A and B are shown apart, each in its own frame.
Chain A
Amino acid sequence: MSVISQKMCLVGDFGVGKTSLIRRFVDDQFSDEYLSTVGVKISRKAVEVTLNNQTQQKVQLLIWDLEGHTKFKSIAPSYLQGAKGALIVADVTRPETIESLTNHIELFTSVNPKGAILLALNKTDLVEPNTIESLTNLAEKQASDRVFGIYQTSAKTGKDVDTIFSDLVLKMLEAR
């Protein structure tokens, strides 16, 4: 069984926790210290997923951590090229980051029409559960047909972090 290399991107507004999610997923670490990502940072993790036909597939996951979108600087589309999937991240403590999910989804879909997208509502450890539900509903309104799921994640606690990455890998392999 050969190892398949796959590129995925983390997209979202600045400070939503993209780098933290990756760090939690790749290194199983978390830090409250905020370090802004400049340009792009690439991480790598080998994962093994079970396909629908119950076969195991090793995947070399190349995770592109893109600089967060701000009002002054948008995400460079060229970084998104060739990505089979994207984790589009929003911060549940900042509803405006959920509202901008649409823009990120459209940007990624415009570059990769067949790419799979999962939405991560991050920092769920900071808000009440009932608030999360309403925010999830708000995020659902932003979703498109290429969005295969909305996950309530927390890089701090690790909630659903591995799940969302492994699910995205599965969707990426299905989309091949």
Chain B
Amino acid sequence: MQDYSPEVARDLELLRKLLLGEETASQAPSETIKRPLVDNIQTQLLDELDRHEDMSPPADMKVADSESNSPTLNNPESDREFSSTLNNPESDRESSPTLNNPESDREFSSTLNNPESDRESSPIPNNPESDRESSPIPNNLKTDRESSPIPNNLKTDRDFSPLDFNELDNGEKIAIADSQIVPTDTQPQNTEEQALQQLQMLLFGPDMSNLEGKVQQIEQQLFDPDALMSLLVPIIVELLDRKVRDSKEEMAHALFPIVDRLILERSQEDKIAMSQALANVIPDAISQQIREDPETIIQAISPMMGGAIAAQLHHDRDTVISALAPAMGRAIKQQMESERDVMVDALYPIVGSTVSRYLGEALQEINDKVTNTLSIQGIKRQVVAASRGVSTAELILQEALPCRVQAVFLVHKASGLTITDVQRLDTLKLEPDMIAGMLTAIRSFVKDCMDGGDTGSNSELNEIEYGDSKILLEVAGFCYLAVILQGDPPRTFLRQIRETLSWLIQKHGDVIENYDGDPDTVPPTVRSRIQDLLEDFSNKPKPYQGFPWALTGLITVILGIIAVPGIIFAQNQRFNHQIETAIERAWYDSADLSVYNLDAEVTGEKLILTGRVPNEQLRDRAAMFTEAFQDHRTLDNQIVAVNLPPDPAQTEAEVQRILQLVSERPGVEISAEFKPRFDEDKQLQPGVVAIAGTIERLEDAIAVTQAFNDIPGVGKITNTVKVEIAGLDLRLYFGIGSAQLQPMDLSSKIPLIRRQLQQHPNIKLKLIGYSPTSEPNGSLDLAQKRAEAVKNALVQQGINPERLSAVGQVGMPSDVTKTAAAWLGRSVLLEVQLPPLNP
């Protein structure tokens, strides 16, 4: 069971009463007949509504409408459909939405308050005029009236006043209604016209002449768009609502083909309204689509992203910048991580040229500093800087002060317009616009020539020189600084220019970029900053113009400090050289040292002797010549004694010369023979002198031996000279087989020997005992015992036993022949041994 609003339900009920009568609607005998009629009327009403909705209402269409409506009533199919719906009272009510007209509600409300008077207060008889104006029902019935005769009995009804109508009882009304309906019951196969006539009779009565005016009015109402709309809208709404509830799919299919066209036409007709209608859902729709199918959204939006951003940049650049700025850093960082090479390629033209330029300047600066630091100029600068208490860098800047900045222009790079300029007051006023324009043209010209129109190149014209003047150009994105100056500026000034330009870009980049020639748009700080650049440079302290007393004094002191030690040193060197020369001259004057290459060097407190001499004697002799020059110095004798033996021939001649000399002495009868000696490597070694003969006096023997020993080239003396000392040339004899001293010898010879030994304390005695082979029991042992006996006797006489050596020999002494008496052989001989020679 469908629920309706009270107004709809009430209107339906009224229509039902109007068409069927209250009682007949609930009575079973006539229900089967009346429902199809109601059905047809309802169908016609709905069809008529549809037509009016779809077509304009020309006057000539009226008849056609009625004619076209007529067949509808004959449609058995629609009859069946509506009859089936009428079987359900709920459906009946639902199919009469036109009764929702509020106007009619109000009119009907007074009568509906009394259920008894419902039929009597039917709206049609009450006031037809008001019906046309306020009730939809008569309007919908217009075509019916035109196409069918109006029942006369309805005219009577319409002529009734409410009071008259009320006077009739319900039974009469029902009778009227039944009488009109009975024929349809008895003739179920009546034609449509008959049904319409019956309806006319039922609604308007047999006389329709009075209705013409009303019909005309209704007709006018139908073609009144406002009225028609007010009439149709509730029906359409209800129909659509019901259809949507009943069959969404069908509605959807029905609307599919025209939805796009509907939206398109509506959009063209009223874009604002359409935009407002869709505005609320579009964001949600996009969000939903992004969640469900992001790829589609991406594909849909991506082709226009670039254009959209470009348009937004053109429209509101600041918004785009502020939106992108926070992410730019991270985006670049991520891009560098993911595609480093691409970023490198992208940044290379900028970074490469910038870095190379700065590196070049830095290297040049370092090179200059290194070069100048060790130069006279650099040392002078450092000394002056120290004397003034300023840094070397400041001094360098001061040195560059002959450079004068004449003007500084801040120029708009594209147009060449001067954004602002500062100039020195004491120089010729330059025309900034002309200069800036020409500089810009020259920059463009050079860039076009050098880069060949390559807009990606970042190379710039940095400097223009003319004589000792130059124009420095420091270029940024949308502007450049042109500094006109004379002389070479210090590099610190270049840094100053760059810092100024950086400050300008950071603080007033937008103003500079958008400069259009109006100087009022340029903030005053821009000019003041450039003015600072000019003033900072031109207001540096002037170079010291007076006589540099401090510098001169300082240099004098430094030179003094450096010179005095030098002079002292040179003096010492000269004195030392004199000493060295004197020593070497002394050596040269000496016959034995003149042939050797000796050097003397005086170094500080040392006197150093170097060279080579054959022996230690010459080395010591060389040192002897320096004693006069040593003074307080320490002698460092580094002369090497090579100890090379002289030529053996010279040594031999020297031996013979000495032999001749000593042989002239009395008591000396000797011979001397020199023999050269070689070691295992056949190197010449000091030779041997063999001396033989007799020397009477011990002193002569010693002197002769020493003389030979002193000959250069003589390393050893073989001395077999017999020294004939009185008392030591005697022999002691023994008995056969005896080693016992003779008592006479003990008393005479032993004391004699003792005395000689005591007189010559430097000599030693060699006691040689003999035992001839012919002696019975003779042996070496007996000979040794005989020598020992003499030794003991001398020791007993007080002679140091270390001066005595005892040896025994078997045989006869060399000077005793074998034929001599045997007792001559049983003896002890004394052999004098000379003391060691002096080295």
Contacts and interface: CB of A to CB of B under 8 A. Distances in A.
Contacts of B438: 42
A83 B517 CA distance: 10
A44 interface: yes
B441 A5 contact: no
B523 to A, nearest CB: 14
Given A5-B417, A7-B517, A79 B437 contact: no
Given A3-B519, A4-B517, A39-B445, A82 B412 contact: yes
B518 A78 contact: no
Contact of A44 (B412, B434, B445, B518): B434
B464 to A, nearest CB: 15
A62 to B, nearest CB: 5
B418 A5 contact: yes
A8 to B, nearest CB: 10
A2 B519 contact: yes
B441 A79 contact: yes
A3 B518 CA distance: 7
Contacts of B418: 5
B414 interface: yes
A83 B415 contact: yes
B444 interface: yes
Contact of A78 (B433, B434, B444): B444
B473 to A, nearest CB: 15
A6 B516 CA distance: 7
B648 interface: no
Interface string A28-39: 000000000001
Interface string B406-418: 0000001111111
Q: What interface size band does chain B fall in?
A: 20 to 34
A64 B437 contact: yes
A6 B434 contact: no
B416 A7 contact: yes
A40 interface: yes
Contacts of B519: 2-5
Interface string A79-99: 101111000000000000000
A82 B479 CA distance: 12
Contacts of A3: 519
Interface string A45-72: 0000000000000011010100000000
Contacts of A44: 431, 433-434, 437
A44 B438 CA distance: 12
Nearest to A176: B516
A62 B416 contact: yes
A76 interface: yes
Nearest to A42: B437
Interface residues of A, number: 22
Nearest to A5: B517
Nearest to A1: B520
Interface string B484-519: 000000000000000000000000000000001111
Contact of B433 (A60, A81, A83, A176): A60
A6 B517 contact: yes
Given A60-B433, A62-B437, A76 B516 contact: no
A81 B437 CA distance: 12
A126 B444 CA distance: 36
B443 to A, nearest CB: 9
Nearest to B418: A5
Interface in B535-555: none
B448 interface: yes
Contacts of A7: 415-417, 437, 517
Contacts of A76: 444-445, 448
Contacts of B414: 81-82
Contacts of B444: 76, 78-79, 81
B447 interface: yes
A36 B471 CA distance: 28
Contacts of B448: 76, 78
A3 B441 CA distance: 22
A4 B360 CA distance: 41
Interface string A126-148: 00000000000000000000000
B518 A62 contact: no
Nearest to B443: A78
Nearest to A81: B414
Interface of A: 2-7, 39-40, 42, 44, 59-60, 62, 64, 76, 78-79, 81-84, 176
8 contacts: A5-B433, A5-B517, A5-B519, A7-B416, A42-B416, A62-B417, A78-B448, A84-B517
Given A39-B445, A82-B413, 12 more contacts: A4-B517, A7-B415, A7-B517, A40-B445, A42-B434, A44-B431, A44-B434, A62-B437, A76-B445, A78-B447, A79-B444, A84-B517
Q: Ordered nearest first, which 8 A-B pairs have the shortest CB separation?
A: A82-B415, A82-B414, A81-B414, A78-B444, A5-B517, A42-B437, A40-B441, A7-B415
